[in-house]
Amino acid sequence: MKLAVVGATGLVGNEILEVLKERNFQYDELLLVASARSVGKEVEYQGKTHTVIGLEDAVAAKPDIAIFSAGGGTSTEWAPKFAEVGTIVIDNSSAWRMDPTKKLIVPEINGDAITIDDRIIANPNCSTIQMVLVLGPLHKKYGINRVIVSTYQSVTGSGKGAVDQMMAERAGEEPEMVYPHKIDMNVLPHIDVFQDNGYTKEEMKMTNETVKILRDEKVKVSATCVRIPTMGGHSEAVNIEFDNPYDLEEVKTILSKVPGLVIQDDVANNVYPMPLTAHKKDEVFVGRIRKDESKENALNLWIVADNLRKGAATNAVQIAQYVTENNLVLN
Ligand code: 2RA
């Protein structure tokens, strides 16, 4: 089993290595792959020194699995080259997510969609992953027709430069600007680029990816995505409208059985999910579960997850585990 991590020196790449270690993911050889800038760099990992290699050398090594987190351009160009030599590519970028020939996977929800023929598997957007973990089982039970979501997203979702901008502002230093505005002590209703319809790309990812993962065009999602000056995780206020009546206690029972989902809902003791407490955790946390009293068959809840974990690295590693455990690796 030869495993490659492409983009190994980035924020998500680091988290992937951490999750692989924590989950004791078994491999015989690990290839750390990065752009020309980092080639030759030495990385200490699990008691071994790894020399970072370039993409061409990595393809020539024909890894069984390559977990990519190196941006859309790299994925578009290189994922097919790895796929051609038989590698299963698990891609964190948005390059392949809405390609009808590629699967978009959250293992707990639609892992069963993966077949032996899938060579490029897309990892969904962070804010989508944590939401569908809650929506999936509720959709199965009550049928969801509409979701209204507002997000409160961590600066880590924009990469290291954004963390640096926030910290420089906080320290009173001249920041290198990643966002079009100051982020510390501020809130930006703007994640990714604006589209012709007035929504941002991040908002449209939540709308389109949710439908693809739930495999139901009938589910309508309206999203407002907001960047806030926090680290640790993304938070989401979600309003769900069902086709059928639901029972609040039954909703909690259903959610309590979803692997990787933890209910934190004890308002009498101020217990609810927060980015600070979700940080570095693999689980998705849900709380503030309550009836929407303004509308029949509607529910409100609050979801938080570490966007670099379940929102990226953990989900990607879980896909890698799924394909190995289900004998879907070719080589
Ligand atoms: C963000 N969705 O938080 C992105 C990261 N993939 O900006």
Query: What's the gap in Å between 145 CA and the centre of ligand 1?
Result: 25
Contact present, 278 and 285 (Cβ < 8 Å): yes
Residue 331 above 70 pLDDT? no
pLDDT in tens, 107-142: 999 999 999 999 999 999 999 999 999 999 999 999
CA-nearest residue, atom 4 of ligand 1: 157
Looking at the structure, do residues 68 and 152 belong to the same domain, yes or no?
no
Residues 6 or more apart whose Cβ sits within 8 Å of residue 202: 125, 127, 151, 153, 191, 192, 223, 225
pLDDT recorded at residue 330:
72
Please tell me the distance from the alpha carbon of residue 152 to that of residue 173, in angstroms, as a whole number: 25
Residue 44 above 90 pLDDT? yes
Using alpha carbons, select from 236, 88, 213 the residue that is nearest to residue 157. Answer: 236
Decide if 330 is inside a domain.
no
Looking at the structure, do residues 133 and 261 belong to the same domain, yes or no?
yes
pLDDT recorded at residue 329:
87
Decide if 91 is inside a domain.
yes
CATH number of 160's domain: 3.30.360.10
Helices (H), the chain: 11-22, 55-60, 72-84, 107-110, 126-142, 160-170, 201-214, 248-256, 275-278, 314-325
Query: What's the gap in Å between 311 CA and the centre of ligand 1?
Result: 9
Q: Annotated binding residue at 23?
A: no
Looking at the structure, do residues 150 and 252 belong to the same domain, yes or no?
yes
Please tell me the distance from the alpha carbon of residue 109 to that of residue 214, in angstroms, as a whole number: 8
Looking at the structure, do residues 172 and 247 belong to the same domain, yes or no?
yes
Domain that holds residue 108: 2-124+312-325
Number of domains in the chain: 2
Please tell me the distance from the alpha carbon of residue 253 to that of residue 69, in angstroms, as a whole number: 35
pLDDT in tens, 139-197: 999 999 999 999 999 999 999 999 999 999 999 999 999 999 999 999 999 999 999 99
Q: Annotated binding residue at 37?
A: yes
Decide if 331 is inside a domain.
no
CA distances from 250 to 36, 44, 254 (A): 53, 48, 6
Contact present, 194 and 158 (Cβ < 8 Å): no
Active-site residue set: 126, 234
- Torsion over CA: 256, 216, 190, 91 (sign): positive
Query: What's the gap in Å between 235 CA and the centre of ligand 1?
Result: 12
pLDDT in tens, 48-98: 999 999 999 999 999 999 999 999 999 999 999 999 999 999 999 999 999
